[in-house]
Amino acid sequence: MQKINYLWIPLKNLGMNKKIRIFETLLVLIFLTSCQINPNKKTLPLKDSGALSVWEFKGRVAIKTSKESHIIRIIWKQNKADTMLRLYGSFGKTYAYLETHKNISTLKVDDKTYHNTDPQRLLYQVLGWNIPVKLMQTWVKGFIPQDQKSRVNSKYQNGHLKWLQFNPWTIDFDNYKNFQQYALPTKLKLIHPKFSIKFSIQSWTIGSSS
């Protein structure tokens, strides 16, 4: 342990103005010391190592194709390999509900239920959206899938993923914020030659499987 040398100042021999200046200096030193010491700070890896396998985010998503465009609310819950994705309107009406459990994906739209082993194929068959759900589970966290790294061009800024190209997708990460001491994306845009997806994430919850 480092030895600390204390400085004794006989305050009773000082004037009031000097006492105030010394007190203010001590407050500044205490503040700077408390800012430097943060033993609970967590640092995210630059690629998805599986450390964040249970999470949830809430926000809005804008989906634009050549034929249609939608701006809707989204809740995405991920519990390791299990997915729950709900797209709904301002008054709570659910437009689409996707759930993946034990490698079986179920999509509910307009009181009808559809099944497939591949969530991407299921969304495309029913809604016409060719969305890579499994890859997006990693992209939305600002990570690069480990098994796909060789196929990716990327750019980092301040330690965070800023831009990612995974043919035919381009992903722009516009903003990060701290949630439960993790820096996670809040604005990102996924661009495909035939359509685009834009996320505006309001909140992240880490480690909750409820």
Cα–Cα distance, 204 to 44 (Å, whole number): 15
- Locate the domains of the chain by residue range: 54-201
Closest residue by Cα to residue 172 from 142, 138, 193? 142
Closest residue by Cα to residue 132 from 174, 170, 101? 170
* SS3 (DSSP) at 114: strand
Cα–Cα distance, 56 to 26 (Å, whole number): 43
H or E element in which residue 126 lies: helix 119-127
* SS3 (DSSP) at 68: coil
The rounded Cα 178 to chain-centroid distance in angstroms is: 9
> Considering the entire predicted model, what is its pTM?
0.77
Longest CA span, the chain = 85
Cα–Cα distance, 140 to 119 (Å, whole number): 17
Which CATH code, of 2.50.20.10, 3.10.105.10, 3.30.710.10, 3.20.20.70, is assigned to 54-201?
A: 2.50.20.10
pLDDT tens, residue order, the chain (210 aa): 444 444 444 545 556 555 455 445 544 444 444 444 344 545 555 566 666 899 999 999 999 998 899 999 999 999 999 999 999 998 999 999 999 999 999 999 999 999 999 999 999 999 999 999 999 999 999 998 878 777 888 999 888 999 999 989 999 999 999 998 899 999 999 999 999 999 999 999 999 665
Cα-trace Rg, the chain: 24
Q: Which residue carries 């899938």 as its tokens?
A: 145
Torsion sign over Cα 30, 35, 36, 42: positive
